[in-house]
Amino acid sequence: VAADWDDLVDGALAASISINEHGEPTVDSVWTNTDSSGASASVLDCNAWTLNGLNIVALHGKAGASGEQWTLVGDVASCSDKKRLYCLEQPQNGG
């Protein structure tokens, strides 16, 4: 997917994340609220991922995408939708 943090957030993955936690292929939407640089994209995050109401929305990405859409498709989805969650963290040492 990426060699290091800089490679992860350069706008394109070396390979898409297209396998779920069970080893099965997936191209579903995923919760991220992160842009391709690794920064928070907005406050649209289902209230810090704690609410799931129909009228609450969040930004999402697309499993299987290797361009910028892997973290941010560009529209919102209802927080009542069931999606996997990508959690990204830059290590303290920067690598």
Q: How many domains does the chain have?
A: 1
76 lies in a domain?
A: yes
78 or 66, which is more confident?
Answer: 78
94: pLDDT confidence band, cut at 50, 70 and 90?
low
**Is residue 93, in this structure, part of any structural domain at all?**
no
In a domain, 13, yes or no: yes
87 residue type, one letter:
C
pLDDT tens per residue, range 4-43: 888 888 878 888 889 888 999 988 899 988 887 878 888 8
Distance CA 78, CA 95 (A): 34
- The pTM of the full predicted model, rounded to 2 decimals, is 0.78
Residue 95 included in any domain? no
On whether residue 48 sits in a domain, the answer given is yes
The whole domain housing 65 covers 1-88
pLDDT at 11: 78
Residue 94 in any domain: the answer is: no
- How is residue 28 written in tokens? 């579903």
pLDDT of residue 50: 93
